[in-house]
Structures are given as structure tokens and as C-alpha cells.
Amino acid sequence: MKNNFASRIISIMLLAVMLAGIFIPANFYITAEAVANDTESVIDGILKWKQNGSAQNLADEISDSMGSSISDWYAISLSRYKYNIDFSKCVNSLDKYTNSAENLRATDMQRIAIAYTAMGSKSDYIKTALNSSIGKLGIMSYAYGLIMLDCGAYYGSMTRDEIINKILSMQFSDGGWGLMQNSDVDVTAMTIQALARYYKHSDVKTAIDKALDYLSKRQQTDGDFKSYGTPNAESTAQVLLALSTMKINCNTDSRFIKNGNTVYDGLLKYHNSDGSFSHTYGGNSNQLATVQALYATISLWRFENGKTAFFEFVSNNIQREISTKPEPKPNNSSSISSKPDSSSNSNNINRNNTSSYSQASQTSKPSQSSHINSNISSKIEGSKTEFSTNSKQNVENSAIRKAESSETTTLESSKVESIENSDIEEISEYSEENSNLSKIESSDITETQAVNYNLIIALFLLGIFVIIFVVLIIRKKLNKTNIIVLVVLFAVLTGISLTIKIETPNQYYNEASDNKQNTKTVTISISCKNAIGKTDNKKIPENGIILDDTEFSISEGDTVFDVLVSATKKNKIQIDYDSSNETVYVKGINGLYEFDCGELSGWMYKVNGETPNVGCSGYKLKDGDVIEWVYTANIGKDL
């Protein structure tokens, strides 16, 4: 009897275990230890890729280039990981840079100040940056100004209340924030990072909840995010950092799991075998994407291990309680202190909630009640921060890629098609049907050599197969099976060779670009006036006009990119663009590229004077539209 009873108990327990395996979500089994081990391997892989040695060696290596966005973020990242690093060389290098640097942008100053703080320096530059940068460059200078205060900077030109109120007033109706006219994933995520500590305040909570809903709706089925039509690692990294800062578990929160993929899964989509990350899927190693993936993964690692948030520097011992003590206004005699900060109640901005935001508790978690359906279609709107200038400041079609924390340097992409203006070595094929380009190498092809290369390839294949037949006959191995295989193989390869379009440079540029029999027309112009005097690029026209107003015929469904290709072909203007991920991002025109005039520079396009919130390959034109391709040196603020 006892044995039967024991057997029944065991059976019930086994049944319970089986039912648990059926009904408990798979994500439940992702233990903190397992994920932590995974994040550590990703982090260590990046450090090994960047410097095949110790973390200290990496810190010493980047010391020579402190003051640049990439090196500063590596230093900040290393300070938040598990290694005990001597940053003295980096601090000394940064001192030299700040002593000689002139006319730095507000967000540059703030990044440098955060780097100083992360490395344990009490440099006077922190005070200078705080008093000279907040609000000087739009939303990002407010967000990073707030982060600076929370990192330990004591004085500032604005109180926390004033900064937070200003940030909240800049939120768009859809819940996001952006650099220009529309919400953007990167800017929204970075703003959440700044506001996270103040989530317990009702108005901040309302704003963050709306922002999280905005991000959830824009998550892709692979778990990643896109900006200006281009899925990319940087945007995904910023969202991951925002969630970790908010203490939201990206592996279990249903709002940020699409088609079974988490935000972290989305980031790993861009992980290369050598440990680095690419900007777009399948691309080459990219410095900006890699460093942003590094600090986002470190942020997740800190969350998993119960540590403070990425921008909460423990050495500053910042208090988390609400304080009513007034925050001192800046004066010339005051010095930077790592003492706990406090804020005054601000009466300068009319708001219903008048409570001080000083050092609000960060232990509160955002409401999990807003369950987002995983079938929500992700449509991009945003106006990109960090700059490709697609953020992706790296804006895509407005050419700007990402703002500050995603501060951009060259965005390397795996499927970039470059059409050179002279001495062309790469020949691209443009298909109006799907905007995909196939590239083939050419060396010193002249117009007199413009023969039928498809026929030459077919004849070459025929010669190869004849040789194979002869060899098989000589070796007495020619049988019915071999003949059938060779004939089929020859037919397939010949068919492929005859369908590939191969052009010489002159054939490409001389191809009729405006031969459409259509009464609908648009006007296009290309200008780089804002680059004059900001770069030594010799290809910039004296008047900054690459292409004056030119009229082109269009067909139904033609896009801004279609017309750009036609215009550059007809006028023999070089363009360089990335056509991966079903979108097109224009990197360079006429030899002038993104970042040639600084980290906020790049190509943008306008239609009828407005900056659209979709990629150039996604904007369909109508009769009479006026297209302007313009180069900006300051994320569109100089246009």
C-alpha cells in the first residue's frame, strides 16, 4: 500500500514537472547566470577584437585619442565593467585635448565631462561643460546635461526641475522624442536613460510609459530597431541601454519580445564572428556600432548582476532620496563636488506637478500592464539622432544617423554600392524594380572596349566545358551521366551569365536617365553649401551647387532615390549608398561624405521644403514635387 501511495506521489510530481515544461514560457528558463555568462562573453569578445590583450592595454591604447567619441565611450564602458583599470593616461590625454580644443559642440562637452567622471577625475572641465552646454543643442543637450548632474556634477546653469520640465515639454504626441520634427527611436531611448531616475514622479512616469509604448510599437520581428527605415545595431543598443537603466528585463518583458525575439536577440543579430558588431545586418565591423553594443551589453550585464545602472557612478555616492534643499546656482568661485546633489522647486515653468525631481528613487519599476501585441507592424517615423548625417547617429534619408551617445563616426556597411565619377573601378547595376544593386569589378575599361561582355562570358564557359569534354574523352570517362551533368551545368551557367547586366562606366552614365514617356515631372537639386570652408575636400564646387534645379520625368511609384540615381547618371555625378535591408541610405555624393564636416554632418533630402520621416527609397513622388538633396554640418540646424 505504501509503495502504491509513493508511486502515485512520484507520478503526480512528474506530471507537474511536465506540465510546467509545457505552460511556463521559454524565457522563464533564461537564468540570470546563463544570460550573464552570455553577456560577459560578448563583452570580452569586443574587448579582444578592439585590443587583443587586457582591458588595461585597451585603456592605454585609446589614451592617445581621448576626446574622440569612440575612445571616450570605450573609457566610459571600461569603467562600468568588472576590471579595475588605471585611467591616468586617458585622463592626461583628455586634459591635453580639452586645453587645446575650441568651439566644441554642447554634446561633445557633455560626453567628455561624463568620461572624466567615469574615470574618477575631478577636472574643472566638468563644471565648464555643465554651465556651457545644457540646452545649447536641442533635446540631447538637455538629456545629457541631466545625466551629467546625476553623475556628480554639482553646479549647473539649470536646475534639475528646469531640465526635466523642458525635456517633458519636448515630447511628441506619439510618446517619442526627436531631433527635428518627428519622434526617433534613438533620441527617445537616450531621453529615457536620462529620465529613468525620476520615474516615481507622476508626470515623468506618464512620459516614460508613453515613450516605452512608442518603442515597443517600433520593435522589429527580429527584436531589433530601425531608424529612418534602416534596421541597425546602434538604435537597438540604445533601446537595450534604456531598458536596463529602467530595470526592465528585456528577456521577459512581453512588450519588448516580438516573434519570440528579445531586444538583446535583436542586438546580437549584428554580432560578427570576430567579436565586433556591424552597423547593418551582414555588414563589416563598425567602430560606432561596436562601442554602442559594448556599453549597452555592459548595462545589461550590470542589471543582471544587481549593480547600479550604467550612468550611476558609484564613486559619487549620489543619494536617491527626494530633497527639498535648493540646488546652488553657478558662481565663479564654486568648485565641482562629488557630494550628493539636490534641487530646488522650479517656478519658472508652468506645470501641474510642482514637486522637486532631485534624486528620485530608481527602485520603482515601470508598470508592466501595457501588453503590446507582437503583431504590431513597425513603421519608422523618427528623426534620427546621431548621425549618419540615416544615428542612426549614425539621419538616413535625411542622412542623419545618431545623436551624441550614439555619436557617429564612419558607418561601414556590407552592401555599399559606390559609383565613382572618374577612374571607376566598381560598376553598379541599378534595378528600378527592387532597388537592389549588383557590383562587379572592372579595371581600366575604356569606352572602345564597350562590347557584349555577357557573350564573352558565355563563350568562355563554352571553352571551359569543351576542355572538360576533351579531358574526359582522353581519360575514357565520358559516359551518358557525365554528358547530361555537363550539358545541364553549362546551360544553367550560360543562362545566368546572359541575364547579368554588365556595363562600362560610360555605358552606366550614358544610359538614358530621363526617357520616361510621362507627363508627370519633378525637380531635383543637389547642394553642399554648408560644407564650404569646413573640409579640405577638393570636390566641393565653389558655389556649393553640385546640381542646379533640374526637371525629370517620373512614372507611377517612382521614389526620391529613383530620381537621384537618374539625375546622377545623367550628369555623371558620383554617389555612394547602402542598399541593404530593403532601404537605401545615401552616404556620399560627388565625393562628399557623411562626417566629412564633423560628427553631425551628412546628406539629407527634402521634398517641397519638408524633411520626410521615411527613407529616400520609400518616399513615392507625385507630379510637381521639388526634391532637394542638401548637405548639413549640424544635423539640419544649418539648413
DSSP assignment of 389-406? --------SS-----GGG
Top pLDDT among 276 and 19 is at: 276
Q: Is 519 exposed, middle or buried (0-12, 13-18, 19+ CB in 10 A)?
A: exposed
Is the pLDDT higher at 4 or at 238?
238
Summarize pLDDT for 443-474 with one digit per residue, the tens.
333 333 445 667 778 788 888 878 888 888 88
168-172, 358-362, 438-442, 528-532: which has the minimum mean pLDDT?
438-442
Does the pLDDT at position 543 exceed 80?
Answer: yes
Nearest to 560 by CA among 407, 401, 399, 452: 399
pLDDT at site 105: 83
CB 542 within 8 A of CB 387: no
- For 584-605, write each residue's pLDDT tens digit: 788 899 999 988 887 678 898 9
Residue 156 is predicted with a pLDDT of: 65
Kindly indicate the confidence band of residue 17, based on its pLDDT and cuts at 50, 70 and 90.
very low
The per-residue pLDDT for 508 is 55
Instruction: Decide if pLDDT at 66 tops 80.
Output: yes
Out of 74-88, 151-165, 347-361, 483-497, least confident range: 347-361
Q: Is the pLDDT of residue 180 over 80?
A: no
Calculate mean pLDDT across residues 145-171: 85
Is residue 603 left, alpha or beta, with left meaning phi > 0 and alpha meaning psi from -120 to 50?
A: beta
Q: Read off the pLDDT of each residue in 140-166 and give the average, rounded to a whole number.
A: 84
Phi then psi for residue 184, to 5 deg, are: -140, 140
User: Is the pLDDT score of 370 beyond 50?
Assistant: no
Which amino acid is residue 51, in one-letter code? Answer: Q
| Structure confidence at residue 465 (pLDDT) | 79
pLDDT for the residue 456? 79
Q: For position 199, what pLDDT does the model report?
A: 94
CA distances from 180 to 251, 383, 616 (A): 32, 6, 17
**DSSP string of 80-98, one letter each residue:** TSS-----HHHHHHHHHHH
Average pLDDT, the chain: 74
Q: Do residues 265 and 239 make contact, with C-beta atoms less than 8 angstroms apart?
A: no
pLDDT of residue 90: 96
Q: CA 361 to CA 143: how far, in whole Å?
A: 18
Q: Whole-prediction pTM value?
A: 0.57
Which of the four pLDDT bands, split at 50, 70 and 90, describes residue 202? very high
Name the more confident of 440 and 314.
Answer: 314
Q: In this model, does residue 379 exceed pLDDT 50? A: no
- Average confidence (pLDDT) over 248-266: 95
| pLDDT of 527 over the 50 cut | yes
Average pLDDT over residues 573-586: 76
Q: What is the pLDDT of residue 63?
A: 92
The pLDDT, as a whole number, for residue 617 is: 83
Distance CA 514, CA 144 (A): 48
Specify the pLDDT at position 276: 95
Given a cut of 80, is residue 355 above it in pLDDT?
A: no
Bridge partners for 240 per DSSP: none
How far is the C-alpha of 417 from the C-alpha of 439, rounded, in Å?
7
- Asked whether residue 374 carries a pLDDT value surpassing 70, the answer given is no
How is residue 513 annotated by DSSP? S
The residue count of the chain comes to 639
Contact 425, 443 (CB under 8 A): yes
Strands 225-227 and 230-232: antiparallel
pLDDT at 321 over 80: no
Is 435 a residue whose pLDDT tops 80?
Answer: no
Burial of 444 (0-12, 13-18, 19+ CB in 10 A): exposed
Burial of 1 (0-12, 13-18, 19+ CB in 10 A): exposed
Number of H helices, E strands in the chain: 18, 14
Q: Residue 185 pLDDT > 80, yes or no? A: yes
For residue 368, is pLDDT > 70? no
Main-chain phi, psi angles of 227, to 5 degrees = -135, 130
If you search the block for the grid coordinates 525629370, which residue do you land on? 552
Whether residue 214 has pLDDT greater than 60 = yes
User: Is residue 376 over pLDDT 60?
Assistant: no
pLDDT of residue 509: 57
pLDDT at 385: 35
Positive/negative CA dihedral, 402, 406, 412, 413: negative
pLDDT of residue 224: 96
Residue 170 pLDDT > 70: yes
| Predicted local confidence at residue 365, as pLDDT | 41
Query: Residue 151 pLDDT more than 70?
Result: yes
Mean pLDDT of 239-251: 95
> What integer pLDDT is reported at residue 524 of this predicted model?
96
Amino acid 154: pLDDT = 64
* Cα 179 to Cα 30, 343, 395, 444, distances in angstroms: 37, 27, 10, 45
551 phi/psi in degrees, rounded to 5: -95, 140
